[in-house]
């Protein structure tokens, strides 16, 4: 069961990473840095925060506190990036450390204790904490993306297509698959 949990969590995170990237691809460059007001965050700022969190939490994950001394969390909320390339470099750096760490974990690790700001978490609790945190911010990215795209291509079931989508699903035999398999590995899923 624990191995299934880890694989499911990894797929969930990969799915949300993909939603963020599909959103970036629909946005004009200048909109990545747009803020509605001084109390809101731009997409690039949210990316900086997510990456900073991932680098801090998941570097030396099992052996050091998740809030690293070198992290400057306040700087993550400064809207100071100015190119898509810089933003994507920051985005990918955080995800690389995070996903490498997740993929290195085993069932035996899930009950181990780690600390975030001296507060103990089992590894499973730390993963769950981020399963709430990262999609929360990626939802913000998607919302800003929808507001700023000239033409929005739905990231899920397009409006008005629910019945057609359901009809297609219910025409298939019942099977045990992760809901992200079609999105993350469409060719593999179709050939299976």
Co-location of 105 and 172 in the same domain: no
pLDDT at 17: 98
Distance CA 102, CA 96 (A): 10
Co-location of 103 and 164 in the same domain: no
User: Number of folded domains in the chain?
Assistant: 2
Co-location of 183 and 116 in the same domain: no
pLDDT at 188: 47
pLDDT at 7: 95
Co-location of 86 and 140 in the same domain: yes
Distance CA 23, CA 146 (A): 8
Name the pTM for this structure: 0.91
Burial of 121 (0-12, 13-18, 19+ CB in 10 A): middle
Co-location of 149 and 173 in the same domain: no
Co-location of 136 and 120 in the same domain: yes
Range of the domain at 146: 2-155
């Amino acid at each position: 069961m624990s191995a299934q949990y880890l694989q499911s969590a990894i797929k969930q995170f990969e799915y949300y990473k993909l939603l963020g990237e599909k959103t970036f691809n629909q946005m004009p460059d200048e909109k990545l840095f747009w803020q509605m007001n001084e109390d809101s965050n731009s997409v690039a700022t949210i990316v900086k925060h997510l990456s900073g969190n991932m680098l801090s939490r998941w570097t030396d994950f099992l052996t050091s506190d998740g809030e690293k001394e070198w992290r400057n969390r306040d700087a993550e909320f400064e809207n100071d990036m100015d190119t898509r390339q810089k933003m994507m470099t920051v985005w990918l750096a955080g995800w690389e450390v995070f996903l490498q760490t997740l993929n290195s974990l085993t069932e035996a690790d899930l009950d181990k204790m780690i600390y975030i700001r001296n507060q103990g978490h089992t590894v499973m609790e730390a993963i769950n904490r981020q399963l709430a945190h990262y999609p929360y911010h990626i939802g913000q990215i998607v919302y800003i993306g929808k507001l700023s795209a000239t033409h929005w291509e739905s990231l899920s079931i397009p409006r008005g297509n629910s019945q057609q989508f359901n009809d297609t699903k219910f025409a298939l035999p019942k099977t045990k698959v992760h809901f992200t398999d079609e999105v993350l590995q469409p060719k593999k899923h179709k050939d299976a």
